[in-house]
Each structure stands twice: as C-alpha cells, then as structure tokens.
Chains A and B, each alone.
Chain A
Amino acid sequence: MAELRMREALRDAMAEEMRRDEAVFVMGEDVGVFQGAFKVTEGLLDEFGERRVRDTPISENTIVGTGVGAAMAGLRPVVELMTVNFALLALDQIVNHAAAIPYMFNGQARVPMVVRMPGGGGHQLGPTHSHSFEALFLQVPGLLVACPSTPGDGKALLKAAIRDDNPVIFIEHESLYGRRGEVSEDEEEILRFGQAAMRREGSDVTIVGILKMAHVAEDAARVLAHEHGVEAEVIDPRTLRPLDLDTILASVRKTNRAVIVEEGWPHGGVGANLASLITEQAFDDLDAPVQRVTGADVHMPYSRRLEQAAIPHEEHVVKAALATLEGSI
C-alpha cells in the first residue's frame, strides 16, 4: 500500500491501464501540455506521447462523440470533461448515443468509454462551476455511474471502469483531489462496481453518503456517538449504477432508520431515488421517515457565506439522524 492523494491515485489508474492495454487513450481539454485543469493527468503526456494523450478543442459534445465512435471501433477512450458542468454540453452524446447505442443496435456495438468529470461546490466558483449531477446520470439506463470518495476506491474503480465494456460516467469531487489515503499498488487490483463500503458500523441509524458527503457522514457519525450516544452505520455506495441496494437495505433492516446525504439538488436527486427504493422495499422495517440531506434548491451562489449555506455540513446530518430517532432516545 502507498499513501497517495486522490489525483495521484486516479493518474496511476490511467497510467497502469494505458501500459496494460494499447487501446486505452486519454483525451480532453488541457489534459496534455497543461497536465489537466486539476492536474489529474500530470505526467501522462511525457510517458505516453501525443497519440495517446490528446488535447482537444473546447467542443464537449464532439469530444464525447468522438470517444463514442472510437469505442465502437475497438478503442477504450478515457474522456476528461473539465468539470461536470460542461457535461451538459455533451448530454446528447452521453444519453442519446453512448448509453443508447448498445441497446438500440441490439448488442452489435459496444461503447467501452469512460467519461471522467469533477464536480461539487465549495470553491466559490458560482452557479456554472459547482454542480453535482450524479442524479442526472443515475437516471440513464445503459450508463454506469461511479462516485468514489477515497483515493483507494478512486484508483480501483477507475481501473475497473476502463476495463469495462460499458460507458461509464466517472464523477470526481474537486474538494477530494488533495485528500490522502491508502492505495493498493497491485496493478491487477480492481474494485467491482456495485459494492458499497461500510465505513462505520452502528445499530441506531443508517447514513448513506456519496463523494465528499461520504466524509461528512463519517464526521457526523463521530459527533452522534460522542455527543448523543447514537451509533450510526455509515455506507458509501461508491457506485450509483449499479447500486448495492442489498447492503443498504440490510443496514436499514438492522437500524430501522435511514439518512441520505448528497450535495446535489433535492428534487429528483440521489436521495429522492434511494428514499423511494428504501420505502418501497423496506417500509415495514422503518421506524421513521427516511431523511434526506441535500444541497439547497438554488444555483450555487458565489459569496462564501451563501455558498456554505447552500452545501450540507456535518451539523445537518446530525440533525437529520436525530430526527429519525425522535421519541426513541
């Protein structure tokens, strides 16, 4: 094991897969000479050259579409969109093409492509550079959606994504790039999609958090234990499609309470979806309504004060968890 930052772990995943398979290549805006807007592709151009590390014009829909065509013809493109916000410009190629092609052509074509994109708020980047679009992609059949929160998971999931024959939306969080963690140095180690991580065991309430909110959920669990005597079980799904619903339901059946934490908008969100699945499939096990903690229902404001007001924090999670326990403690 090595201790690496998230950005280094992701870069290692790409570099290892590029060494392993000649068909793997990276393309995106400023991924080469500039080394990546968030320095995730640092060093790749030096090692692999311009044929395999391709700087592109600012043409998101065409970058992704070119990846779709290249993947259909046997390559394994790793496309970097500079941020999730710009993915909106590529939604036609992601939804109408990448996700639909294997199905609408009845399995005659595959689209083994990874589209990486960082998102999330907290850097005062305002309304057009702070989105969380996990729910948007989660909705689309045919896509796989990954949202790692630790460097170890990031590397192992990205390697799995690159080896997979399906189109993968790989969502990273800008605030996690510098975060350190233990990372496997075994080049064959991958993390299969659809396996949630149990970050903390507990018996009183289940807290599900993704990306940066997986860490906020863990912080909240510590506060719940120290200040309220509540033992929370914290689950990081790690992938949203496929979703390890079984692990979440098993936990809810044990704790009888659930809180879901995400940074995205509340309506039609990851939490809304999961709350619905839990209610449909474990209603009889619930002792309280499922609680959602989400970003505020606004466009991300620039002012640091307002921005922090729009993002979920540990205190919100503690409050939501206590709400599910109201009357029980």
Chain B
Amino acid sequence: MADLPDASACYELLARMALIRRFEEEAGRQYQRAKAGGFLHLGIGEEATIVGVSAAMREEDYLIGTYRTHGHAIARGTDPRHVMAELFGRVDGTSGGRGGSMHIFDAEHRFMGGYGIVGGNLPIAAGLALASEYKGEDAVTVCMFGDGASNAGNFGETMNLAALWRLPVLFLVENNLYGMGTSVERHSAQTDLSKKAEGYGITGQRIDGMDVLAVRDAVAEGIRLAREERRPTMLEAFTYRFRGHSAADPEVYREREEVEAWQAKDPIELFARRCVEAEVLGEREVQEVRDKAEETVLAAVEFADSSPEPALDTLYESLYVLDSDAGWYAVDERSPEPHRGEHEDRMPDAARELAEAGAAYAGQPDGPRPNPAEQGDAQEGVEPEVAEEGDASPVADEVEEAEH
C-alpha cells in the first residue's frame, strides 16, 4: 500500500472525493425532483478512480471520458455550479444546456468531454495525443472508458493506432463490472481487461480503483511512460458504482450482497479512516471536508436553479463557426426568407415561430419541466424521498432500452 502523502495532499484528495460524492447524491435528488432530465449516470462509488487520475495529471494534460463524467470535470477543476447548471439545462451550464449530463465539457480545464456513445471517445483521445505529438508539446491525454467499451470496434482500432504511432496517451478502463446490466463475464470473452490490448502492443495493469493513492501512483507512471517514452499503456481500475447504471435502473442483474460488499470498501470512508488512524488528518478535518462539500453542492443547486433557461434565439448558435472565411451557412432552410451573407447567424422569423411554438410545450420556466421522469413507473435504486416530491419518477423502460 502506498504511503500517505502529507496532510494537505490527503486533505485535498479527500475533499475532492467527498465533493464528487455529495454532488452526485444531490444530482440524483434533483433528478427525482425533475430539475434534471434525460438520463443520469452517477459516479457514486467510483470517486477514488476519478480523483486518483486527476491528481496525477498536469494542467496541460487532456482528460476525456464517457457519459458518467460529472465527477471527472469537477476533479479537473470545473466549478460544480456549472456542472449542476448543465444538468438543469440552463445557460450557465458547461455546455449552456445543449449537452446535458452525458456531455459535460470544459476546454479551460482541458476536460475534453463526456461522450454519449460507448467507445466514441477512444479515437478522439488518439487525436488529442496526436496533436500534442505533432506540435512537439508535452501534454499527455488520459482516456477513461468503461469495461463495456472494451468490446467496441473503436477499442481495437484505437489501441493499434496509438501503439503504432507511439502516441502520448494513457488508457484507463473504469471496470465497474457491468456494461449497463451485463456483467463482464457475460460481455467479454477475455475477463482480464488489462490483457485485452496486449495483442496491439499496449501492455496493461490491474489496479485497485477503490484506493485513491494506488490509482494516483499507477496513473502517474502511465503518464510518465506516455510523456517521456511515448509508450501508451492501459490500466484496468476495479471500481463499483453503488447506484444503478442510470437513475432508471431496477438493478435486477446484481445481488444486494454484492452491492453491500463493495459498499464496505467505500473509497471515501476507507481513505478518511486511514488518514485519521495515521493521524495525518483529524476527525475535525474530515468533518470539515464533509461540511464544505455540503455547502458547495447546495450553493451549486441554488446557482443552477437561478440560472436562466436558454433563449430561443440561441437555438442555432454554435452549430457552425461563422467567423471562417470559407462561406456562409444557411440556417434552417425550412424558412422561405432569404438568409445569406450578414444574416447567416440570425434565426429567420419563420424558424423562430416554429421554435416558439415548440418551446411552449416545455412549460413555463418556473413550472414543471418536461422530463421522461414524469412518465412511467416508479423507479428503484433512488432515494425514497422522491415519492414525496410529487409524481416525478422514473424514466420509462422503453426510453432506457434505447441507451447503451
């Protein structure tokens, strides 16, 4: 077991994990209140993997992840208020309300995105690394993905390309034992995922994803290999999501006992206890960490709730970069109005009328929001308090079926 670092480093690691935990708990609660819509994938239980990775990264390094990345962005330095606002679909969200839970992004902190397509981020990671290599820069890309993505075609393609071109990238499989509801044994012929890229020239190592220091140290070495030796490698971090795949997961595929056994290895509890027992941190500091997380997260909810809804005339914004010199880009040709040249970035009146009529179905900004959670049956795996909040409940099964 790795030695504990100094008190301030321990405090920081604990504080980040606690913040992410509390953020995710609150995100689940706000989802139940229908403040957030769509799918919600929580990282509760996986904090040590998330924080261990970011703790080993430099500011200029890139991190890219999956659709379960609220915590990853926060760990990189994204203000939790903006992540919460994104879940609420508001203008102050990380993507101004266009991305949602699955598509958090923060260029400033080099968090290069959450991606909704399983395995879709793998080649993009290779491209980020290629850019660093091409420009002669030092930055390393850390690419995180789930065990399920190791079966996607992109996995083999990207491993081959990264090894072939000696790209400065570190791959990290967050193996939480299930690709949605299908266990590793049932979805992968090779269950030792660390070996899965060996044939492509990418060596792997299994690590304890519930031990923040073990993750941090292994990632630091992987980053060193990528940075100094241009040798991409892969880590398989064993971790576990304490909640379901998404908020709509009835969890029929795993036993209560298994969940409880993993909960006994709670990465935050274990690390806090170790710090206290080693007298690196006091009980008072552990409590302070929790109090600060509580305060930050409640402030994030308040911020998100008071952030405005996106204005309708931004519907077409950022679809195209308009300051290029190559040409003009038509906006919604359903409109019979002329729309070229200087009008290219303006929504034509006819398109605006269509948008207004459609947006009316979303209800008033302060009223109940349309949310798949408002249809369907009661949802398991969520906080019981929900039921009291009204009818808000559960994403319908048919919606869930469409998801990876």
Contacts and interface: CB of A to CB of B under 8 A. Distances in A.
A192 B161 contact: no
A62 B321 contact: no
A303 interface: no
Interface string B329-340: 110011010101
Interface string A123-140: 000000000000000000
A72 B96 contact: no
A66 B117 contact: no
Closest 5 CB pairs of A and B: A69-B127, A65-B123, A193-B327, A73-B131, A62-B157
Given A102-B320, A166-B321, A68 B123 contact: yes
Contact of B98 (A57, A106, A193): A106
A31 to B, nearest CB: 15
Q: Which of B106, B126, B158 has the most CB of A within 10 A?
A: B126
Contacts of A164: 321, 324-327
11 contacts: A25-B134, A57-B157, A74-B131, A93-B120, A93-B123, A104-B95, A106-B105, A108-B95, A108-B107, A194-B327, A281-B336
A97 B134 contact: no
Contacts of B125: 69
Interface in A203-239: 239
Interface of B: 62, 94-96, 98-99, 103, 105-107, 112-113, 115-117, 120, 122-132, 134-135, 141, 153-154, 157-158, 160-161, 164-165, 317-321, 323-330, 333-334, 336, 338, 340
Contacts of A241: 329-330
Interface stretch (A242-250, A259-267, A288-296, A318-326): A242-250
Interface of A: 25, 51, 54, 56-57, 59, 61-75, 77, 92-93, 96-97, 101-110, 112, 141-142, 144, 160-161, 163-166, 190, 192-195, 239, 241-243, 245-246, 277, 280-281
A96 B123 contact: no
A219 B154 CA distance: 45
B153 A61 contact: yes
A280 B153 CA distance: 43
A105 B95 contact: yes
Contacts of A104: 95, 98-99, 103, 105
Contact of B329 (A96, A103, A144): A144
A67 B124 CA distance: 7
Contacts, number: 191
B293 to A, nearest CB: 27
A259 B23 CA distance: 59
A92 B329 contact: no
A166 B328 CA distance: 11
A193 B326 contact: yes
Nearest to A51: B134
Given A65-B154, A72-B112, A108-B95, A97 B124 contact: yes
Contacts of B116: 96
A69 B164 contact: no
A72 B111 CA distance: 12
Nearest to B128: A69
Contacts of B122: 62, 65
A194 B99 contact: no
Nearest to B325: A163
A165 B324 contact: yes
B127 A70 contact: yes
A243 B330 contact: yes
A271 to B, nearest CB: 15
A57 B160 contact: yes
A192 B117 contact: no
B123 A69 contact: yes
Nearest to A89: B153
A57 B161 contact: yes
B326 A75 contact: no
A126 B31 CA distance: 52
B234 to A, nearest CB: 16
